[in-house]
Copies of this chain bind each other. A is one copy, B any other.
């Protein structure tokens, strides 16, 4: 690991905080609105994992591609998906980014490079390769990021995608958000590798394992992987070790996670830690950070209101967008 090569400056750190704050506020707001019954959807909380997309978000450009998963709203927001498009979508409204057809597991926002969101474990990876191939074919320096979970590293698509990316030298970055659980199953019970990053060796691919709660380490890893990809040197596997503070899906009380394990994880909550660090490093004051947080809450108020005021699609819309017009 050579995270020392890439060290974020103050403004970058602040930008990462800004993203983390947005993601955290959005997650909390989502759960709150679901609890009130005003949103009905399967919701996969990413609380605890905010540092990863925050770092990714400041390193990637709008033109870079992202393929993410059901637990990926943090990834999309960090990549630039507007709050209003998100909220209207998860409310199933016409002003949603997918006109309400996709929902929380299938968001797309081409403008910000959010190309695919999948509900099928492992499926983000082979598709990201295709986007990376496109970039390679066009001689562009765009990279394609696939995010996925630790348990997803046990499915065939992971293996096939990493091997292909390596032999084709694709600018794909595989980002494993290792939250140590896959649904109700503990890491060790399903995953034979000590570290997901160890698996990169099977593809002669660099594998970087970083603290997924430390935006600064993450920033270094993303910079390194992105630089390699943009330089045409091929793919990288990044394992970001973190934790999932909520159940697998909203309504799951995660009773299967030992209390001590959960408590220890929460004690390493990336959000308050990074917040305190910015103040300690005099990058921002308490007031400045509070102002950021308040601004996010205001944006969320607006987005939620916008979404719930947006109309539902007409019933006939169920049958459109199945096929395009033949030229």
Contact = CB atoms under 8 A, between A and B. Distances in A.
Chain B CB count within 10 A is highest, among A156, A157, A189, A202, for: A202
Nearest to A154: B163
A280 interface: no
A202 B191 contact: no
Contact of A202 (B156, B189, B193): B193
A201 B198 contact: yes
Interface in A133-181: 154-160, 162-163, 166-167
Contacts of A158: 159
A160 B155 contact: yes
Number of copies of this chain that the complex holds: 2
Interface residues of A, number: 25
Query: A interface, by DSSP: helix, strand, loop or mixed?
Result: helix
A199 interface: yes
A285 interface: no
A163 B159 CA distance: 11
A259 interface: no
Given A154-B163, A155-B160, A159-B158, A198 B189 contact: no
A205 B193 CA distance: 9
Contacts of A320: none
Contacts of A155: 156, 159-160
Contacts of A204: 192-194
A199 B154 CA distance: 14
A201 B203 contact: no
A202 B201 contact: yes
A59 to B, nearest CB: 25
A163 B152 CA distance: 12
A116 to B, nearest CB: 19
Interface of A: 154-160, 162-163, 166-167, 188-194, 198-199, 201-205
19 contacts: A154-B159, A154-B160, A154-B163, A155-B156, A155-B160, A156-B156, A158-B159, A159-B159, A162-B192, A163-B190, A163-B192, A166-B192, A167-B188, A167-B190, A167-B191, A192-B202, A198-B201, A199-B202, A201-B202
The 7 closest A-B pairs by CB, nearest first: A156-B156, A159-B159, A166-B192, A199-B202, A192-B203, A202-B202, A154-B163
